[in-house]
């Protein structure tokens, strides 16, 4: 979570004979200008594929999957073993590089010509604020190309957008790699609007995904998912286009602006709006395997936190409000005036003594916890006298930042 750290800066007199240290700005520039290099590599092998995973010192992970021999889908028994890919959307942004034609992904709101066969697997028991995502990698017979030995089947790049504090794994049926914090010596200079919550639902062979960002922006994606065809045999395919049986829609309360986009391969679809309701309509809807519809809901400055239903995925207004509060924490600013000082220390003591007479706002209560880290997944240790004391120590220059670690 992007908690802004409040610190004090003291002037230090340095004699002419003292050794000059690099300034923090110079250190940051040196880190960002350092050479980006591989710090760890893993490899895996099957009868059909070789996979190499590389971790770089800026946190980037790259995977290259190549054919170990000639593959003809009309003659050979080919497969992707345990064809799932697991990574954390809150920490990494996935990009697809060079790939076989059937594995190229759509890009929403731009020139989205190629189909995607990567889509999330429905997770029934996901944690409330889970961002770990499982993607299904599949190869439809109709699209799989003839490959020669050494041909690239797929290149993946995972760009670090969050902060890694403990070892995490990125992995799939074709290997994987562990990312350790000590491996990351070049910090990414990014203001990425990280995903803090993701949820999916399976509606008649359509996978619906909802991602909520720190800023409150909500992404909604619909995938025509080939792994559901066995469960829904009434779906038919015509020249690579699969019928869509589900009628999907969503309801947006006041306080959001809505943008949307269809893939160019989505046949004759349109979005109809009536009041707060949006319905995807078509006389005979069909689309290639993969993502075929996106919507982006951008919150306005003033909005009510109401429950939202998006393509069968329900999100409570209470959770949306909590995401907003945790995304705007200023540690120590109990009064929410943009500054941290003795007034906040006093406000905390008054709140502890009589919260009815001296209330703090919901944001102020989260800000007031100065002795633990508050986030979506951590409620902290509550408001105590230690939080008031921590602000006094900061004001006196005894400590340099909050929260106290």
Return residue ranges of the chain for CATH 1.10.1330.10: 328-395
Average pLDDT over residues 147-163: 87
Q: Give the model's pLDDT for residue 298.
A: 95
Q: Which positions ≥6 away from 390 have C-beta within 8 Å? A: 332, 370, 371, 399, 402, 403, 404
Residue 164 has pLDDT above 70, yes or no: yes
The pTM score is: 0.78
* Of residues 349 and 247, more confidently modeled: 349
Provide the pLDDT confidence category of residue 29 given band limits of 50, 70 and 90. Answer: very low
Report in angstroms the alpha-carbon separations of 233 from 140, 229, 245, 323: 15, 6, 11, 40
CATH 1.20.120.530 at 328-395, yes or no: no
Return residue ranges of the chain for CATH 2.60.40: 196-325
Architecture category of domain 196-325 in CATH: Sandwich (2.60)
Question: Taking each helix axis from N to C terminus, what angle separates 385-395 and 342-353, rounded to the nearest 10 degrees?
Answer: 170
**DSSP category for residue 176:** E
Q: Which residue, among 87, 101, 102, has the nearest Cα to 138 in the 3D structure? A: 102
Q: Could you read off the pLDDT of 287-319 as tens digits, one per residue?
A: 777 788 899 999 988 788 989 989 988 889 998
CA 66/CA 45 separation, integer angstroms: 10
CA 261/CA 270 separation, integer angstroms: 9
Phi-psi region at 278: left, alpha or beta (left = phi > 0; alpha = psi -120 to 50): beta
CA 38/CA 33 separation, integer angstroms: 16
């Amino acid at each position: 979570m992007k908690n802004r750290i409040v610190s004090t800066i003291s002037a230090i007199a340095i004699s002419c004979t003292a050794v000059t240290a690099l300034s923090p700005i110079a250190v940051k520039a040196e880190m960002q200008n350092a050479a980006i290099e591989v710090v760890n590599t893993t490899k895996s092998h099957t009868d059909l594929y070789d996979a190499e995973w590389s971790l770089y010192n800026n946190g980037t992970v790259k995977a290259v999957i190549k054919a170990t021999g000639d593959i003809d889908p009309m003659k050979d028994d080919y497969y992707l073993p345990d064809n799932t890919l697991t990574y954390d959307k809150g920490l990494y942004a996935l990009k697809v590089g060079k790939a076989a034609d059937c594995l190229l992904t759509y890009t929403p709101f731009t020139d989205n010509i190629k189909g995607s066969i990567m889509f999330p697997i429905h997770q029934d028991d996901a944690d409330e604020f889970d961002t770990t995502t499982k993607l299904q990698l599949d190869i439809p017979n109709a699209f799989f190309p003839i490959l020669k030995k050494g041909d690239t089947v797929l290149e993946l790049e995972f760009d670090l957008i969050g902060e890694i504090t403990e070892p995490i794994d990125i992995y799939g049926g074709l290997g994987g790699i562990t990312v350790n914090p000590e491996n990351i010596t070049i910090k990414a200079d990014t203001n990425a609007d990280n995903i803090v919550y993701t949820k999916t639902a399976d509606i008649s062979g359509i996978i619906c995904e909802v991602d909520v960002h720190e800023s409150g922006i909500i992404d909604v994606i619909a995938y025509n998912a080939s792994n559901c065809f066995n469960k829904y045999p009434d779906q038919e395919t015509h020249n690579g286009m699969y019928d869509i049986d589900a009628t999907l829609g969503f309801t947006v309360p006041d306080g959001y602006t809505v943008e949307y986009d269809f893939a160019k391969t989505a046949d004759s679809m349109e979005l109809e709006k009536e009041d707060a309701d949006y319905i995807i309509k078509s006389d005979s809807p069909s689309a290639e395997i993969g993502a075929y519809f996106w919507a982006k809901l951008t919150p306005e400055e003033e909005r009510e936190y109401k429950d939202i239903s998006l393509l069968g995925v329900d999100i409570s207004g209470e959770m949306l409000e909590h995401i907003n509060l945790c995304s705007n924490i200023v540690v120590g600013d109990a009064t929410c005036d943009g500054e941290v000082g003795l007034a906040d220390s006093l406000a905390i003591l008054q709140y502890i003594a009589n919260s009815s007479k001296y209330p703090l706002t919901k944001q102020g209560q989260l800000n007031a916890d100065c002795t633990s880290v508050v986030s979506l997944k951590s409620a902290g240790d509550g408001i105590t006298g230690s939080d008031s004391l921590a602000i006094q120590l900061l004001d006196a220059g005894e400590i340099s930042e909050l929260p106290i670690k």
